[in-house]
Chain A
Amino acid sequence: MTALAAPARRRRHRLPPILLLFVFVPFAVEAFWVFWPALQGFYLSLTSWDGVSPPTWAGFDNYAELFSDPTFGTAFANTAIWLVLFGGISAAGGLALAMLLQRERKGVGFYRAALFTPVVFSLVATSLIWQGLYQPDGLVNSLLDTVGLGDWQRSWLADPDTALYALLAPALWRQLGYVMVLYLAGLKGIDPALYEAAKLDGASPWQQFRYVTWPQLRPVNSVILSVIVIDSLRSFDVVWSMTKGGPYHSSELLSTYMYSTAFQTLRLGYASALAVVIFLLAFGVIVTYLVRVLREEES
């Protein structure tokens, strides 16, 4: 780092102007299409707007309305459930899969590839595949019948009791392989000497995990936590393509409710308030992530 900074400092007085352009153009593009719209989003959340006539100032009316909107309550609760189940299962499952497939040996490449394959499909294609599985005559019901659980058969996506949970399966089917790759990369970075030392001290496999693997994975865990929280709050494709939040909003997430409020009901001000709520939920994670990056940049 010092070797890199020293010659750069000498060059400071004559920084070629073209380099400023190199930074300015991309920054301006992002500013115009991301930062400026984001600011407008906050402003719009304080207005009432149908997208046609000019927005009218509404103060905090939209936010006040959120409290008495039962669909918002459902969407909020479902987003929390989604965060815990989708996030928790993909983190724990991804780690378990990575531990299982960590060692290089015969066949392990195939297993990894099999678990990873769904990551390359679009969530919409994934959803269509699973929608087929969930049909009344689909594989899920036929399997239940085969193993003698015929009573459990139902129309999974049309039943308000099961719709949200039925959506979790395809989302997880895709996310688990991704989290596994992140953990595999983290596990690879652990110094094997640590395990040697632990084994010499007579550590059991569980103790090796508890006292070597887990502490060593801390930086990876924090990345995965951020990825998972942000991914959960952004989750949209699976729900939109399979149920659109229905039946009766039973599988509504904040992201789908925001989209339908904006582009189907055309209540753009209220939708912006919903978007601000999503932003506030993500805010803590974003800041933590940036602070972490900043600290690494400094070291």
Chain B
Amino acid sequence: MISNRVRTFLFHAGAGTLSVLWLLPIALVLLTSIRTFDDVASNGLGSLPGSFTLEPFAQAWGEGGVGGAMLNSLLVTVPTVLLSLALSAAAAFALSRYEIPFRRSILLVMLAGNLLPPQILLVPVAKLTEVLGIYDTLTALVIVQVGFGLGFYTFVLQGFLRAIPNEIQQAAVIDGAGPIRIFWSVILPLARPALAALSALAFTWVFNDLLWAITVLRSGTVMPVTPALLGLQGQYVSTWNVIAAGSVLAAIPTVAVFLRFQKHFISGLAIGAVK
């Protein structure tokens, strides 16, 4: 029998090594982003930094266009998250708390829409935005993202709302509250944990999206940060310190959301698994 102390040591050695290995690429990108070009060029990417500069960040932000792209990303992500959650919360409320005809079928059809591979939608959606005259605008990206996400958010929220005890709602009905009142002042406040989890998830998904952005947008000036990073890669071919700085900048908003909502975020990801 191995003693407990040895076993604990082995656990920490194993899990610790794994964690270090996992964080290594992130550490490396941080180290690369603060090196000068000459240092990277002469000593190689795999070497330790022999210089310190914040110039790569300035370059990526300014002439690299990451700053403007970051703004575009926020202009897409924030309205998308608000709109998707507002619409899906309304649908989830009606579907979970009232006997809407065909409610189960509606829910399944909406979920099925989210499970479709996006590839089948790309060409028709691009055409649709052209016909509506919104191709190559941030509005198009917001609407498309909302449309594609709704099914999943509605499904998750209705599962959560269904679990709210009916007595709470009955009490509000007796007090003379109508459905809108019940939705706004009773159900939504109770759904806050689920809404927080979904907002955090939706924020990262939409912020990190590449496929929809390069499908409905064309001009560099409207590109969000993910496709802009690809542009940076083309523009600064082997200027790895600038590319690294750009990646670091692009990760800041999602990392911030993750740190702020860590618990909700992880429980949000796990929603699907335990249901």
Contact = CB atoms under 8 A, between A and B. Distances in A.
B95 to A, nearest CB: 6
A85 B64 CA distance: 36
B250 A115 contact: no
B87 A139 contact: no
A16 B178 contact: yes
A44 B32 CA distance: 46
Given A173-B22, A223-B273, A26 B28 contact: no
A155 interface: no
B100 interface: yes
A118 B255 CA distance: 10
Interface string A114-126: 1111111111110
Contacts of B254: 120-122
B37 to A, nearest CB: 14
Main secondary structure of the interface of A (DSSP, over half): helix
A15 to B, nearest CB: 6
Given A29-B150, A142-B46, A234 B170 contact: no
Interface in B81-120: 87-88, 90-91, 93-95, 97-100, 103-104, 106-120
Interface string A206-236: 0000000000000010011001001001101
B269 A178 contact: yes
B229 A125 contact: yes
A285 to B, nearest CB: 8
Contact of A29 (B87, B99, B246, B255): B87
Interface residues of B, number: 106
Contact of B250 (A29, A41, A125, A293): A125
Of B23, B46, B204, B208, most buried by chain A (CB within 10 Å of CB) is B46
A200 interface: no
Contacts of A9: 99
A19 interface: yes
B80 to A, nearest CB: 12
B247 to A, nearest CB: 4
B110 A255 contact: no
B108 A241 contact: no
B166 interface: yes
Contacts, number: 310
B104 A33 contact: no
Given A132-B45, A255-B119, A275-B122, A125 B151 contact: no
Contacts of B29: 128-129, 132
A131 B114 CA distance: 31
A117 to B, nearest CB: 7
A130 B26 CA distance: 10
A111 B238 CA distance: 33
Interface string B163-204: 000100010000000111001000000000000000000001
A137 B109 CA distance: 51
Contacts of A282: 115-117
A111 B15 contact: yes
A37 B121 CA distance: 6
Interface string B38-72: 00000011110000000000000000000000000
B22 A27 contact: no
A83 interface: no
B108 A294 contact: yes
B115 A289 contact: yes
A185 to B, nearest CB: 3
Given A16-B178, A138-B46, A290-B108, A41 B121 contact: yes
Nearest to A101: B15
Interface string A261-299: 011000010011011101100100110011001101100
B133 interface: no
Contact of B210 (A32, A237, A276): A237
A116 B266 contact: yes
Interface string B229-260: 11001000010100110110011001101100
Contacts of A276: 120
A34 interface: yes
B151 A30 contact: yes
21 contacts: A4-B162, A15-B99, A19-B179, A22-B183, A29-B147, A30-B113, A30-B150, A41-B123, A42-B120, A124-B208, A129-B25, A132-B29, A135-B240, A137-B44, A139-B45, A181-B270, A262-B123, A263-B126, A282-B117, A293-B111, A297-B107
